[in-house]
Amino acid sequence: MKATAIGMVVTLLLLAGCATLSKEECLMVDWRTVGYEDGVAGRTGDRIGQHRKACADHGVRPDLDAYQAGRAAGLREYCHPRNGYQVGVSGAGYGGPCPADLAPAFMAAYDAGRELYVRRYRVDHADERLAEMRMELAGVQHRIAGLGFSVASTTYSAESRTQDAIHAAHLIERHERLRADIEQLEKDREQFVRELEDYEARAAFVP
């Protein structure tokens, strides 16, 4: 019963999160303002459909003309090149809402920012992978040392020492692969850093 009640609460919260507007907002909404806020946020044109669905149960229909006028005004602010660059640097996607006269400059800036994001991501991801691999390498080294002790010990049976020796051999192979992978990734990271620094030095768009 308790689990069911919790599940119902979670479901209600999820459903509530899907609604773009609450009942109170639907009843008191200024559709031009809603459109402006959606435009400034760079939301695509299908957002009005979500508002329509959210307010349908409350007997409220969107004022499409007011909404579109507000959204158009908001997009004039969103589609500034400086914002395009910031959206690209953040790694966020672009849904293509900018009007034709603003889209080229916005996309040029967005692409410049996105390129910087990709180069930064490569360096950061390499750092994360190196940390993980070095941790694994340390763990493998520790296990090899422990198996080496058991293989050399006369307190264990011959069969047990043989199994430990086989296990140690597999770990040694893994150890060598890890070392090679780490060495290669360190070289890759150096290249990623050079590419990042080169791009930052020659970037045509400066925020």
Has residue 83 been placed in a domain? no
Quickly state the pLDDT bin for 29 (edges 50, 70, 90). Answer: confident
pLDDT digits (tens, 9 = 90+) for 59-112: 889 899 999 999 999 999 999 999 999 999 999 999 889 999 999 999 999 999
Has residue 146 been placed in a domain? yes
Answer whether 47's CB lies under 8 Å from 77's CB.
Answer: no
Which structural domain, as residue segments, surrounds residue 181?
A: 113-202
Last residue of one domain, picked from the residues 55, 78, 101? 78
Last residue of one domain, picked from the residues 78, 99, 127? 78
198 and 130 both lie in a single domain: yes
Rounded (10°) CA dihedral 22, 77, 104, 206: -120
- Compute how many other C-beta atoms are within 10 angstroms of the C-beta atom of residue 47: 20
As a whole number of angstroms, the distance between CA 84 and CA 92 comes to 10
Residues sharing a CB contact under 8 Å with residue 204, sequence separation 6 or more, in sequence order: 112
What is the rounded average pLDDT of the residues 26-40?
92
Has residue 98 been placed in a domain? no
Helix (H) / strand (E) element for 49: namely helix 47-56
187 and 133 both lie in a single domain: yes
Residue with more model confidence, 89 or 9 = 89
Has residue 97 been placed in a domain? no
Has residue 71 been placed in a domain? yes
Q: Is the dihedral angle over the CA atoms 200, 201, 204, 206 positive or is it negative?
A: positive
DSSP 93: -
Phi-psi region of 61 (alpha: psi -120 to 50; beta: other; left: phi over 0): beta
As a whole number of angstroms, the distance between CA 106 and CA 89 comes to 13
Angle formed by the axes of helices 31-40 and 64-78, nearest 10° = 30
The confidence score (pLDDT) of residue 132 equals 98
128 and 70 both lie in a single domain: no
64 and 143 both lie in a single domain: no
Share of the chain above pLDDT 90, in %: 61
120 and 186 both lie in a single domain: yes
As a whole number of angstroms, the distance between CA 126 and CA 132 comes to 10
Has residue 93 been placed in a domain? no
The confidence score (pLDDT) of residue 79 equals 96
Has residue 158 been placed in a domain? yes
Domains in the chain: how many in total? Answer: 2
In terms of Cβ atoms closer than 10 Å to its own Cβ (0-12, 13-18, 19+), residue 11 is: exposed
pTM: 0.75
70 and 125 both lie in a single domain: no
pLDDT digits (tens, 9 = 90+) for 117-155: 999 999 999 999 999 999 999 999 999 988 887 777 777
Share of the chain above pLDDT 70, in %: 88
120 and 64 both lie in a single domain: no
Last residue of one domain, picked from the residues 26, 55, 78? 78
Quickly state the pLDDT bin for 202 (edges 50, 70, 90). Answer: confident
Has residue 92 been placed in a domain? no
60 and 129 both lie in a single domain: no
